[in-house]
Structure formats: C-alpha cells, structure tokens
Amino acid sequence: MSDFIFKSATELAMLIKTGKATSTQVVEEHINHIRKHNGMLNAVVQLFDKEAVKIAAECDNEAKQGKFRGPLHGVPMTIKEQFSIKGTPSTLNSSRLNRWVASDDSVVVERLKMAGAIIIGKTNVAKELFDYQVYGDIYPVGKNPYNLEYSPGGSSGGASASLASGMSPLEVGADFGGSIRIPANFCGVYGLKTTEDTIPRKGLIPRKKREKAFIFNMAVAGPMARTPEDIELLWKVLVGSHKSDRTTPKIDWNNNKDKRPEEYKIAWTDRWKGYEPSEDTQEVIVDFIELISAKGYNTEKAVPGKNLHMRSLSLYKQLSLQLIMQEMPWYAKPLFVKHMKSSVFKGDRTKLKWKFRDSMLDYSKVMGKRADITNEWETFFEHYDFLICPVGYGNAYKCRKPGKPIRYKDERVAYMDYVWPYNACFNCSGNPSLNIPLGIGQNGLPVGVQIVGPYWSEPDLLKFAKHISQYTTGFVKPGWY
C-alpha cells in the first residue's frame, strides 16, 4: 500500500514541512507509480525522473536547515506539455513542432519552482491543442482512467488522467475553449479556468524565434487538482502580474469572505436553448441545486436574455479562427477551414466565418463585439454571484475519429456540440469558471457541474467549492486502483 499516492498536495507539503516525510520519498513514490501505470493511460509523455530526484534531495537538505522555498516545497507535480520548461520539448503533439525545445521557462514554471514544486513530468495533449480527445503525431493516444475506451478530455487530457490516476497531486492546464474544464469533468477532478489576463502567458505555447508578436486572446492557464484546497493553493502561486506581460494587472480580488450562504444568490440552468444536454446531466444539475439550496444558498433558474450564449459562441468561433490562423499565409486559410468543417466542427450548426485575408479592422471589429458581450455577462452577474450550468451534453465519450457524431443513450449529438457550447462562451467573455466533480454516474464515469462567476471572483468560487465539498462525493478513485 502506498503512503503518498492520492494524498493532496496540501497534505504532502505539510508532511514534508513537519519532517514526517521527505521530498525524496514522495517524489520517488510518484515516479514509480507513473512507471507502473502510465503504459495503459499514456498520460505522462516526458518523465524527468533523475532531475526530480536530484531536486528532491536538495529540498530535503534545505528542510533539515529549516529553509523552505515556498508553499509547495518538495511536492511533485506534472504540467501540460505545451508549457515551456528550459531544455525540454513543447511539441503540441504535432510534427510541425517536433524539434522545438524551450530556451527558457514559462512564467508559470518559474512560479512553480519558486514555490518549491518539483515538476516530475509533462502530460499528453491533443494535436495542436484543438480537440477534446488526446491524440497526435508524436505521443500515443491518451486514455481515461475510468474506462480505457473513453476520452480523458482535451486538450489537457493527459493532465486530468494524471491527476485521476494518482500520478500527480497537481497540474497546470490551459483553456482556450474548455481545455481545462472538459478534461476535469471527464476524469472527475477540479479544474479552474481563470479570469482572462490574470496569469501571465509568457511561455504558454511554443513560438518560433522569428515571430515578433502573437495575440493570445481567450487562452488562459489554470490549476487542476483533486481537491478545491489544492486548486486554491496552486492558484495563489500562479496568479498575478509579471514584468513579461504588462496586460496582467494588479487586481483587488473579489472576495466575500464574511458572506454567509444565505446571502448568496445563484442562478442556474440545466440547458442552453438549442443545446439541450442529456437527461442524466439535467438530473445532476437539479440534484446539485437541491443540495446547495438545502445548505442555505438562494437559487433561481435564470440565464441572460437576448440569446447571449449563442451570440457568445458565434463570436468565439470567429475570433478563435482569427487567432489560430494569424500566422498562416492567406492561401492556406481555406484549406484549414475546410479541414475544420470536415473534422471537429462536422455537423455543427453555427457557420465558420472567415476571409482569405484578415485585416486589423476585421480583428478590431470582433474585439469591439467581444467587449459588448463581456459587458452583457457582467451585467448579468450584477444580479447573481454565480451561474451553475452543465459542462457538456454528458460525461466522457468513447474515443473516435474527430467529427464522428457521439451517441449517448440512443441520442445522436454532433461532435463539437457535445461539449463546446457550454465552455467556449466563457472563453469569449473571459469569465472564470470551475468544474466541480460530483462522483461517479450510473455508467461508471465521473459527473460534475460548472460554476461561473464575474470577473476576478476566483476567491468566491473557491470558497463556495470548499464549503460545498463537505456535502458532495467529489473525487472518486478509479476502480482499478
């Protein structure tokens, strides 16, 4: 029986700090666990075993002298493959970047190291980070720990599988259209999509040396973990301004620490019009609302008017294409759009809007519309503290060819419609949102809900998650463990 696997990062940090465990013991046990189980999951694609053990020994020597690097001193963790770590590849699982090696650390990695964390490996991703499954040109197909035939989600699927299988107590994912929340939901862990522009994005994705600039709208880094306490611990390490990114402001965080449950007003919905989820998902939402209502929270079934979610999705698709294709020569764009229509967006009901040439005027018009949409969401949150809604149509689906419709309980759902409508709208608006795991569904796969807040409400979201976790099943270990 292991001593440290499936313990939280908070627990591990305390064991190391009090001398009840050494970092070397904790790190070696996690490395051995990865070696034992990773072959069936393909969650970890780069293992830094020798370097990790060396750093753990340094942390142990410092601990003996009463010196600690930070709140994660000596705690092992993994990180999504896309983040730059000096001297290691970030390929995005694509042959286009198969020789790309980072020349320095990302800001996220810098902060993890300063906090004392030991990064023991990098985790698997969807090719070019653009799918809700994990596959690509370089790494083997990622699997869901609860059923190997099912997707762990994407693009941070290796991250969620690593957490759910006990290979790591902490992860950092990135979210451009649900890439933190969907894997977290598929694998039954917590995943926080942070408010846009609150975690610096230097080193978020690999960039060629000749690039002079790159626009990152809607993409954010965020913590993933098995407990809300660990999400909060890691979020505090990651968040805040940095000299490399002046767009990350110093923020007076919205924290109603003295607010009682009965003082909160929470909106909820079990469906978007036009994207009705499964009956199972609707039942999960309703049961959760009954639970929090019983604990004193005021709840009201409500969504913004004027079809805001659909307009958000439409604008997200337009802006995301502009961002994805910003480096492409104009003649390659129609080929890319054709590929998208025949793969991940096959059967999607909203049209892909694009031009052979995108001007700065086109981009500025979209950003103007985006500002209006964000204002509409924020106006909604002037009346409610949170919005609770589904993360997708249902829980994890079987691995399949991208674009192939998903069948769930005799219903046929377009490939992207299964998950993206409930996630991409909040990438468009920039609002923070948190996946909360609620245990295992009838089919043996994790279920959960998404809770969304106004800008800079992460402290409140985490306070709520910690409070309500006392009454929910939360994370459940896979049956094979």
- Cβ atoms within 10 Å, residue 413: 21
Residue whose entry in the numeric block shows the structure tokens 């410092």: 62
- Judge whether 146 and 479 are in contact, CB under 8 Å: yes
Q: How far is CA 448 from CA 112, 331, 461, in A?
A: 28, 43, 15
Tokens matching residue 164 = 């759910």
What is d(CA 418, CA 153) in angstroms, rounded to the nearest whole number? 12
- 228-238 and 9-17 are packed helices; what angle lies between their axes, rounded to 10 degrees? 70
Q: Burial level of 372, CB count in 10 A (0-12/13-18/19+)?
A: exposed
CA atoms 369, 365, 429, 336: torsion sign: positive
Tokens matching residue 378 = 């924020």
**Cα 396 to chain center, whole Å?**
15
Number of DSSP helices (H) and strands (E) in the chain, helices first: 13, 13
Q: Where are the alpha helices (DSSP H) in 242-332?
A: 279-294, 308-324
Q: Which helix (H) or strand (E) holds 222?
A: strand 220-225
Residue whose entry in the numeric block shows the structure tokens 């653009």: 130
CA atoms 396, 401, 405, 409: torsion sign: negative
Q: Where are the alpha helices (DSSP H) in 18-106?
A: 23-41, 49-64
What is d(CA 180, CA 143) in angstroms, rounded to the nearest whole number? 16
Residues 6 or more apart whose Cβ sits within 8 Å of residue 377: 304, 308, 312, 429, 431, 454
Catalytic (active-site) positions: 80, 155, 179
